[in-house]
Structure 1
Amino acid sequence: MTTLKSVLLFLLAAVAEIGGAWLIWQGWREHRGLLWIAGGIVALGAYGFVATFQPDPNFGRILAAYGGIFVAGSLTWAILLDHFKPDRYDLLGAAICLLGVAVIMYAPRSS
């Protein structure tokens, strides 16, 4: 259950951070306006809180592992919302990052 909770929190963090950055991008670069930017700022603020709910107490470990989630999540977001076509190196890189997340977060450790 702890691993499932952790994974779900990582996914929520990815949606908040990537979504927030995307909203700001849309508001500024695509000229969609200040409401999009404001929504992005709120989402990025929410991202900052989501990590605090991770079961592991180590900020550095959580943030390092989230980096791998961010890489894979950014590519997934780009595929789904921006119709980005990743090449095999994008996919390989994302897979390596996710493997790193698994090792950092879920490898057995002695207390």
Structure 2
Amino acid sequence: MVEVTTTLSIFFFAALLEIGGGYLVWRWLKDHKTKIFGLVGALILFSYGIVMTLQPANFGKVYATYGGIFVVSSIIWGYWIDKKRPDKFEIIGSVVVIIGVAIMFYFPR
């Protein structure tokens, strides 16, 4: 159980870094914010790459699993930051993705 909690914490922290960094770059380019937005966003994105190396599994398995975590985290980010309430298909899709992630990463071989 500790391993599951640890890996999920790393996945969600990495998602926060990737989405947050990407969001700052997005704001810099799309909303013509100052270059500091882009620079800070790039540094945060770089940090995301480092955090992902803390996972105990191999690269392909980690990044495939992270893709599912990223989907769910993006929906949550949209709700909290962009104030966009997810529709039922986004929620259903997120549940399907999380089930897939759990099977792929956590089920014993």
- TM-score, normalised with respect to structure 2: 0.95
* Structure 2 gap ranges (5+): none
Does residue 97 of structure 2 align to residue 101 of structure 1? no
Runs of 4+ in 1 over 6 A off after TM superposition: none
Please give the residue correspondences for 1:1-111 in structure 2 after superposition, counting only pairs within 5 Å. 1-56=2-57, 58-109=58-109
Counterparts of 2:96 and 2:40, CA distance in 1? 32
- TM-score, normalised with respect to structure 1: 0.93
- Please state how far the C-alpha of 1:28 moved relative to its aligned partner: 1.3
Percent identity over the alignment is 37
- Please state how far the C-alpha of 1:86 moved relative to its aligned partner: 1.2
Offset from partner CA, 1:40-75 (integer Å, 9 cap, x none)? 10111011111110122x110000000001111111
* Contact 1:2/1:55 (8 A) holds in 2: no
What code does the residue aligned with 2:27 have? Q
* Contact 1:24/1:36 (8 A) holds in 2: yes
- Please state how far the C-alpha of 1:21 moved relative to its aligned partner: 0.6
Counterparts of 1:14 and 1:53, CA distance in 2? 14
RMSD: 0.8
Counterparts of 1:78 and 1:33, CA distance in 2? 23
Counterparts of 2:45 and 2:11, CA distance in 1? 14
* Structure 1 gap ranges (5+): none
What code does the residue aligned with 1:34 have? K
- Please state how far the C-alpha of 1:2 moved relative to its aligned partner: 1.2
